Amino acid sequence: MPSSFPLLMFSHFVTMKYWLVFGVFASYISSVNGYSLIREYSGQSFFDRWDFYNDYDNLTAGNVMWANESYAASQKLAYIDSRGNAIIKVDNTTNVPLGQNRSTVRITSQDTYDIGSVWIIDLSHIPFGCSVWPAFWTFGPNWPEDGEIDIIEAINMMTFNQMSIHTTPGCTDNGSEYQLGISGPTTDCSQPPGCTVAETSPNSYAGDFAAAGGGVWATQFDVSGIFIWFWSRPNIPASINQANSSSVDVTQWGTPHASYFSNTCNITQFYTPQNLVLDITLCGVWAGVGSNYASTCANAGPTGQCYEDCVVGPGSPRYDDAYFNISYVRAYTSALPSATATGTTTTPPTRVTATRQSGKSTRNYDNNGWSAVVMFLIAAPIAVIGSWPLMFKKLHYRGMPV
């Protein structure tokens, strides 16, 4: 027998394993491919269904004051530009004295979205620069007990986006084979870093993202798991690129860039309906930590300190790139057996703080055994075939307060 036979057999084994995992996932999502548009935030009415935070950053200890709506509008921190895109930015015109913080914006959707939703955001620019910490994320009403999904998040001069989920104890992620990103070493999603996935596709953050014309993120919030896709502008699927995309088919999107399967993190247990959030903070417990800051911004100023070198003093040119330029945010809902109300109007959400509540608020779904079947279909082939090691890359993690 040729000496290459073991290698050939191993190659066939890996190929068969990949396609089996792919087939199981694809066969499931093909049954829930119908997502219909329920809400679009765009154009002159973009800000109509969002609440402005109007307080200091008591979540991540950033050196900012999140403006109220009237101040943000008057100072051009939140407005609609001549192309009809929403701009959310850091104040780059004020000379901030020592001891004060810089104005910026955080907005939270008045609508909440249940399991069985898809969210799509199209941007041409994401905030970046030394001290800058932007995020597009979601949270449940009793944060952090009701879960958090970080779709877009990075700091300082990072060159890639980092996705993550945060939960209470019991949810784990051991690194999915069915994703394009690289999972971080933390597998317990209740730990401060959360369960992170580093984007490996080019042009997902900073100047390269803008130079490529921006891009699109899509997130599927589903009983089978949480799945996130990213496409740079030239690679956006045709169905999403349509001017008025009233429905989407996730089976056309290929392999997710981050996958969090429900066989190790029961989505119905750890997540309740989610609000969407867009914000920009500065420094804080991730971007401002010494080693994280110094890794890309050591030469940003004379002190080597995030606040002193960046926030204090003139805003330009330091924060000229610290803005979101958003074409739209769209929310879709499916007819999944367990999906209930999505895109419903709520009263303005109670302001959340970094203090944990006692106990956990959970929401039960009558899914007629659907979740168990899905978890079996996903877990069984993987258990039979065995696990395949992933490459792990040490990242600069977000220090979520506890």
Confidence (pLDDT) at 19:
43
* Residues 197-215, mean pLDDT to the nearest whole number: 98
Q: Is the pLDDT of residue 380 over 50?
A: no
Amino acid at 259: S
**pLDDT at residue 194 greater than cutoff 90:** yes
Marked catalytic residue, from 40, 69, 145, 153: 153
- Residue 255, C-beta contacts closer than 8 angstroms, at least 6 positions apart: 22, 178, 179, 180
Question: Can you give the pLDDT at residue 246?
Answer: 87
Query: Computed from CA positions of residues 234, 148, 395, 173, in that sequence, does the dihedral angle turn out positive or negative?
Result: negative
pLDDT of residue 239 exceeding 70 = yes
Q: Which pair of structure tokens corresponds to residue 311?
A: 């926030």
Which segment, 31-40, 131-140, 328-337, 347-356, is predicted with the most confidence on average? 131-140
Pair of tokens at residue 219: 């997130």
Q: Could you count the other beta carbons within 10 Å of the beta carbon of residue 379?
A: 15
Mean pLDDT of 250-255: 93
Residue 209's pLDDT is what? Answer: 98
- Tell me, yes or no, whether 10 lies in a domain: no
Reply yes or no on whether the pLDDT at 228 is more than 80.
yes
145 included as an active-site residue: no
**The pLDDT of residue 97 is above 90:** yes
DSSP structure class, residue 311: I
Residue 360 pLDDT level (bands cut at 50, 70, 90): very low
Domain span at residue 88 reads: 33-385
Q: Using the predicted structure, report yes or no on whether residue 88 has a pLDDT greater than 70.
A: yes
Q: How many domains does the chain have?
A: 1
Q: 235 in helix, strand or coil?
A: helix
Task: Give the pLDDT band (50/70/90) at residue 32.
Answer: low
Q: Which residue has the tokens 């989610």?
A: 274
pLDDT at 335: 53
355 lies in some domain: yes
CA distance 239 to 217: 14
- Return the pLDDT at 177: 83
Label the pairing between strands 102-104 and 64-66: parallel
214 assigned to some structural domain: yes
Q: What kind and span of H or E run contains 17?
A: helix 5-29
Domain presence at residue 11: no
The pLDDT, as a whole number, for residue 363 is 30
Identify the active-site residue in 40, 145, 148, 177. Answer: 148
Say how many C-beta atoms besides its own lie within 10 A of residue 83's C-beta: 10
Does some domain include residue 202?
Answer: yes
Contact indicator for 145, 127 with CB cutoff of 8 Å: no
- Reported as a single tens digit per residue, the pLDDT across 113-122 is 999 999 999 9
Least confident of 24-28, 208-212, 256-260: 24-28
Q: Quick one: average pLDDT of 70-95?
A: 98
Q: Give residue 31's pLDDT.
A: 42
C-alpha distance from residue 3 to each of 9, 14, 191 (Å): 11, 19, 47
Q: Using one digit for the tens of pLDDT, what is the confidence trace for 290-332?
A: 999 999 999 999 999 999 999 999 999 999 999 999 999 999 9
Q: Which of the pair, 339 or 72, is modelled with greater confidence?
A: 72
Residue 3 lies in a domain: no
Q: Is the pLDDT of residue 231 over 80?
A: yes
d(CA 205, CA 136): 13
Instruction: Quickly state the pLDDT bin for 273 (edges 50, 70, 90).
Output: very high
Candidate from 269-278, 296-305, 359-368 with smallest mean pLDDT: 359-368
Taking the C-alpha atoms of residue 391 and residue 279, their distance in angstroms, rounded to an integer, is: 31
Per-residue model confidence (pLDDT) at position 399: 36
In a domain, 19, yes or no: no
Average the pLDDT over 192-202 and give the result: 97
**Structure tokens given for 13:** 């084994």
The stretch 365-386 carries a mean pLDDT of 38
pLDDT band at 175 (very low <50, low <70, confident <90, very high): confident
Residue 394 falls inside a structural domain: no
From the CB of residue 82, how many other CB atoms can be counted at a distance below 10 Å? 5
How confident is the model at residue 241, as a pLDDT? 86
Task: Give me the percent of the chain exceeding a pLDDT of 70.
Answer: 74
Model confidence at 213: pLDDT above 60: yes
- Is 177 an active-site residue? no
Query: Considering the chain, what percentage of its residues have pLDDT values greater than 90?
Result: 70
Query: What is the reported pLDDT for 242?
Result: 79
What is the overall mean pLDDT for the chain?
Answer: 81
Higher pLDDT, 343 or 296: 296
Q: Is the pLDDT of residue 28 over 90?
A: no
- Provide the CATH number for the domain around residue 365: 2.60.120.200
